[in-house]
Structure 1
Amino acid sequence: MEFTDTWGGTYPAIVRLWEAAWAEFVPLLRFDVEIRKIVCTTTAIQSINARIRKAVRARGHCPTDQAALKCVYLAVMSLDPTGTGRRRWTMRWKAALQAFDITFDGRLTATRR
């Protein structure tokens, strides 16, 4: 394998890790390039997850699934309360949103109708 030949002598632990994780990595390659860019952009995703965790922790427990969804929805909507950032966000993520919509058979746009 070319990767092993190039980096095996210098970084043997990395090569072992790469080979062990190959089965989990290959399914990612089936997605479009736009989706892979989003998946690899972890800083924004981690920021949103932190906001959601903070909101859920402050709320305590949620008695129903609907209450949990409302808590998550309000946490995400509070990221941009005026809605002005949404326009810029969708322009930057437009290709990725379209790829998600095609890949996941319209599940993104089904809720907006």
Structure 2
Amino acid sequence: MKVRQNKQVINKAIYLALGVNMEGQKELLGMWTSETEGARFWLSVLTELQNRGVNDLLIACVDGLKGFPDAINTV
């Protein structure tokens, strides 16, 4: 996605978290941008979701995200 930063337009990746509630409906849980996708970033995302009331993470579908396995094991 193109975003304006410091008076310049740059490309940034946007990370989405989608969930499925108990009724089977999809919900957008959040959107984040980050310069890196390491374990620290994913740990902050997962902690934020936990603090907002996400009780369980049963399935995680990711596309080779760096640091995600370490973060999910920590939470």
Q: TM-score, normalised by structure 1?
A: 0.23
Q: TM-score, normalised by structure 2?
A: 0.30
Whose Rg is larger? 1
- Which is richer in strand? 2
